[in-house]
Amino acid sequence: MQRDAFAVAPIGVGMTERQPRPRTYRYYDLIVAAFVAVLLISNIASTKILALGPFSFDGGTLLFPVSYIFGDILTEVYGYARGRRVIHCGFVAALTMALTFALVGALPPARGWENQAAYEAILGMAPRIVSASLIAYFAGSVANSWVLARLKVRTRGRWLWLRTISSTLVGEGIDTLLFVVIAFGGVLSGDLLSDVIVSNYVFKVGLEVLMTPLTYRIVHALKQAEDEDFYDIHTDFNPLSTRI
């Protein structure tokens, strides 16, 4: 059940009511750091389109689905509001990365440095990719967390597999469609664009399904370690809110 966000302070002279004390967690900050790292690495890896068997997808797809697993874990254990804060952190980090790459690429190279063309070929596309990623990631991640949080209340905490897979079907669908169209529209042919969309979606959802047993173990361990199992009964689901 949802834990009380307030602790009872000792009542002494002049103290007649509870004093708020924010919850602290042992592993929340580590998950935030790992989530942001996965997001940034995925954005850079997305500059390459690769072929793996019958699938054609951007390189970031190899790692990016892990961010949705983190999102499921965050929402399931800590609640939608804390998961939303992590989404905001990732958004700011990715935007900062894109602006930095753009600035570095625009500045003149030092005399004797012959890699400007290589930099522009790989990271020169990063601003467009990160712009696509920011829009797609924010919309998809928020949708993923919203579906999982609402289903948790509706199912009374049962059938975690149903919640994680259902939220991924929605979130990854929104994310994949927006990202591929914005990042590669006009760059790839129509057939290849469709192949990338389908391949990305199938790969991401398939990975989520395969990772379900591991997700179960991590969620269970975190709930025990953090003494938390948050239910979003009275949560403000505004995706732009910064409140916890």
174 domain-assigned: yes
Determine the length of the chain: 244
Distance separating alpha carbons of residues 168 and 174, to the nearest angstrom: 10
18 domain-assigned: no
86 domain-assigned: yes
168 domain-assigned: yes
Token pair in block for residue 27: 């592993």
Q: How far is CA 196 from CA 55, 103, 138, 148, 206, in A?
A: 8, 29, 20, 26, 15
Give the per-residue pLDDT at 12.
44
Tell me how many domains the chain contains.
Answer: 1
Give the per-residue pLDDT at 101.
86
Give the per-residue pLDDT at 183.
79
152 domain-assigned: yes
The enclosing domain of 203 has a CATH number of: 1.10.1760
Extract the residue ranges of the chain whose pLDDT is less than 70: 1-22, 125-126
Give the per-residue pLDDT at 166.
93
68-101 pLDDT tens trace: 889 899 999 999 999 999 999 999 998 888 888 8
Distance separating alpha carbons of residues 184 and 193, to the nearest angstrom: 7
The answer to whether 78 and 28 have CB atoms below 8 angstroms apart is yes
234 domain-assigned: no
**142: which residues sit within 8 A by CB, 6+ positions away?**
84, 87, 239
107-142 pLDDT tens trace: 999 999 999 988 888 787 667 777 887 899 899 999
Token pair in block for residue 105: 């690429």
127 domain-assigned: yes
Give the per-residue pLDDT at 22.
65
Give the per-residue pLDDT at 19.
44
* Domain of residue 171, residue span: 24-226
175 domain-assigned: yes
